[in-house]
Amino acid sequence: MSHISPAELSRLGKLAEYQILDTAPEKEFDEIVKLASSLLGTPISTVSLVDRDRQWFKARYGISGTETPREHAFCAHAIEGDDVYIVNDATKNPLFAENPLVTGAPDIRFYAGAPLITPDHFRLGTLCVIDTIPRDGGLTMDQEKTLALLASMVVNALESRRATLRAQHQSRMLTKVAQSMVALAQAKTLEDIGNILTEAARSLVVADAARFEAFSTRTVTMATRNVRGTQPPADVPWVQRGAALVARQSFAPATDKDIGFSGDKGAWLGLLIGLSAEAPKAHFQIWRQFTTSFTEIETAMLTDLARVASGAIERLA
């Protein structure tokens, strides 16, 4: 996809929150696709999640592949609406007649996909059934209702899985915060403080990049840290954001919305550090790609660390 709309960025961010892509098969999802094929009489069914450039199958029945390019995905069309999306004969449909999944394996003719709609109305993918022969009559109303009901079961399974992961993550975060607070209290240099905060951001919010800047008689600027193993984004205006953060004169966490920055295809969080808002000791900035916002617990934990860092910097000043 050459251009990504703000709505699509938000959808991709929501999909990332579920931490489901490229995970191992799970019985609950496998059973749903088997049931879908059995009830609707199709040789193929999948739980398909539509990523930026691909559709990836969390569960599949009747096919061996795990993903296809998004440009070939029927499901990429199905997530554009809330209703079951039906193609009776792909060879006669101008959108799909030349599609490699139609002209070659798995020789799709009939397709029906029910979007997987989250409680906050993001469409992550579909539960779809596929046949290698056309179905001029499509699905009956009862069959459409059955497919939609099974899709809601997939969403329930996703939500349950997400809740479990979130609880595990929060437990790990609490442990990490405690460890980081001890490390900050023992920090011997400003560089140590920057390293501790950056590692905390990596663990607590799974950031893509972070930047720490301390102000003293000896100004110390930590280089932008690539905390995910990828090149730090060049399009994030760290210096401008830092200046806006200082001018804000508030120790409350700041986001793009608070200081008027936008358009960086991700979420930014800034924290002033120090004992006086009029003369802060430092600031810390975190950036995360394809995410609409930081959670309340992530923000609260980083804010607590900023308070402890304030005391550590005062001690070293």
Mean pLDDT of 244-255: 91
Maximum mean pLDDT: which of 127-136, 236-245, 254-263: 127-136
- State yes or no: pLDDT of 7 exceeds 60: yes
Across the chain, mean pLDDT equals 89
Rounded Cα distance between 96 and 203, Å, is 43
176 belongs to a structural domain:
no
Q: What is the pLDDT of residue 167?
A: 86
Rounded Cα distance between 118 and 53, Å, is 21
**The domain boundary residue, chosen from 163, 195, 227:** 163
Rounded Cα distance between 47 and 18, Å, is 14
Task: Label residue 6 exposed, middle or buried (CB < 10 Å: 0-12, 13-18, 19+).
Answer: exposed
Q: Which of 8-17, 206-215, 240-249, 290-299 shows the lowest mean pLDDT across its residues?
A: 290-299
Q: What is the pLDDT of residue 41?
A: 96
Q: Do both 11 and 97 map to the same domain? A: yes
Q: Do both 150 and 203 map to the same domain? A: no
Backbone Cα Rg of the chain: 24
Q: What is the pLDDT of residue 288?
A: 82
For residues 220 and 191, the answer to whether their CB atoms sit within 8 Å is: yes
Q: Which of 56-70, 100-114, 296-310 shows the lowest mean pLDDT across its residues?
A: 296-310
174 belongs to a structural domain:
no
Rounded Cα distance between 24 and 120, Å, is 26
Q: Got the DSSP string for 110-158?
A: EEEEEEEE-TT--EEEEEEEEESS--TT---HHHHHHHHHHHHHHHHHH
**pLDDT of 45-87, one tens digit each?**
999 999 999 999 999 999 999 999 999 999 999 999 999 999 9
Q: Do both 86 and 129 map to the same domain? A: yes
What interhelical angle do 190-204 and 296-316 show, nearest 10? 170
- State yes or no: pLDDT of 125 exceeds 80: yes
Q: Do both 70 and 111 map to the same domain? A: yes
Range(s) of the domain holding residue 268: 186-316
1 belongs to a structural domain:
no
Rounded Cα distance between 185 and 252, Å, is 22
**pLDDT of 154-187, one tens digit each?**
999 999 999 998 888 788 888 888 999 999 999 9
Q: What is the pLDDT of residue 275?
A: 83
Q: What is the pLDDT of residue 122?
A: 96
Q: Do both 276 and 141 map to the same domain? A: no
The secondary structure of residue 24, as a DSSP letter, is P
Question: Is this structure's pTM higher than 0.75?
Answer: no
212 belongs to a structural domain:
yes
For residues 284 and 197, the answer to whether their CB atoms sit within 8 Å is: yes
Q: Do both 158 and 192 map to the same domain? A: no
181 belongs to a structural domain:
no
- State yes or no: pLDDT of 262 exceeds 70: no
Q: Do both 11 and 150 map to the same domain? A: yes
- State yes or no: pLDDT of 240 exceeds 90: no
- State yes or no: pLDDT of 273 exceeds 60: yes
Number of domains in the chain: 2
The CATH number covering residue 56 comes to 3.30.450.40
Rounded Cα distance between 300 and 297, Å, is 5
